[in-house]
Structure 1
Amino acid sequence: MIRVLGKQWNGVAKQLNDSCYRAFPLSVHHYSSTSSSKKAYTGSEILNYMGGLDNDKKELVHKLVNFRMKQGKKTRVRAIFHETLHRLARTDRDGVQVISDALDNVKPICEIAKVRKSGNVLDVPGVVAKDRQQTLAVRWILDAAFKRRTNHSSKLEECLFSEIMDAYRKRGAARKKREVLHGIASANRSYAHFRWW
């Protein structure tokens, strides 16, 4: 046995191990390869340590925070997003996965561009790129959450949570906007050959 300052080495190693568990709960408990049980994330754990998320989900979290930032007040938006994630974690689901599925339900496949052709302005449908799909979905969900907040009577976290859950269940204002856009594109599909971009 090796003695370290009058204590046995095994006791020191156990104390260090216990302190690591308390300091880094996600990195040691949840993301260890021996752990087989899945645990729902809480909002603070995701914002403080996103090591277990893949790059797409990290980018999604950053995009949601950055889209609503006004005048460089990122900490304020992070607090709103943090509270929204806590509300999503109470539903016994993975909060980031719920947001990702909600965005997949809102992403548009095609969009309309105005093209001037022989004196007429035509609505020409075109296919949307993947990055643009996600950007439009994030924008529509955040705008719908702000419109839902009437006269500042309800908190923005509650409105954002409600809009995300509506989009997750394939309903709500953002989903309706997608369906209207697809309807316009379908009605004007005869003008698709004017697409030059």
Structure 2
Amino acid sequence: MISGKRRRVRAIFDQTFHRSARSEGDVIELLVKAVENLKPICEVKKVKIAGTTYDAPSIVGRDRQQSLAIRWILEGAEEGRISKSTSLEKSSNEEIVDAYRQRGIAHMKRKNLHKLASVKRRFAHFRWPTRTGVQDSPGVIKRLSLGRVSQG
């Protein structure tokens, strides 16, 4: 899907959506819900304070949430294609359906990122913006580690 091969990518996604339409029904709703299920709430970024580098969790913006979710679907499809030696169309269809059902490689990446952010939550004060209007932001990571934050 790299190197500007638009026709090849278009053919892959046409076949993927055709396959999804046969098995799951409404393709657009399936894809939108799959991306919504994979959007991360927070991520870990490196912050250098007084010569020491810390991994500090921070809130992810809407655009980055969507790009990460789509990237994870594509990476999961590629990994599934290699491990199962199937076509990219079939593996991308399976990954989208798995993301819709909150399982699969892409969902594990999201889960691992949230787990890492909850482990590193003690460094959240290094990265937290106060001008965003979100006053309870460090509490999001604490509730995330306790499993109390719903995605939305």
Partner of residue 77, structure 1: 9
Output one character per residue of 1:75-134: Cα deviation in whole Å (capped at 9) or x when no partner.
110000000000111124210110110111111010110112233321111111111100
Partner of residue 82, structure 2: 150
Q: What residue identity is the alignment partner of 2:60?
A: V
Tell me the matched-pair count: 129
Q: Which has the higher contact order (CA 8 A, sep 6+)?
A: 2
Show structure 2 runs of 5+ residues with no match. 130-152
Aligned to 1:170, what secondary structure does the other structure show? coil
Q: Which runs of 4+ in 1 moved over 6 A?
A: none
- Determine the C-alpha separation between the residues in 2 that align with 1:107 and 1:165: 15
Write out aligned runs for 1:155-170 (5 A): 155-170=87-102
Partner of residue 49, structure 2: 117
Q: TM-score, normalised by structure 1?
A: 0.62
Q: TM-score, normalised by structure 2?
A: 0.79
Is 2:106 aligned against 1:174? yes
Show structure 1 runs of 5+ residues with no match. 1-67
Partner of residue 188, structure 1: 120
The 1:125–1:151 alpha-carbon spacing in structure 2 relative to 1, beyond 3 Å, is closer
Is 2:18 aligned against 1:86? yes
Aligned to 1:150, what secondary structure does the other structure show? helix
- Determine the C-alpha separation between the residues in 1 that align with 2:53 and 2:47: 6
Q: Please provide the CA RMSD for this pair.
A: 1.6
- Determine the C-alpha separation between the residues in 2 that align with 1:152 and 1:180: 23
Larger radius of gyration: 1
- Determine the C-alpha separation between the residues in 2 that align with 1:75 and 1:100: 23
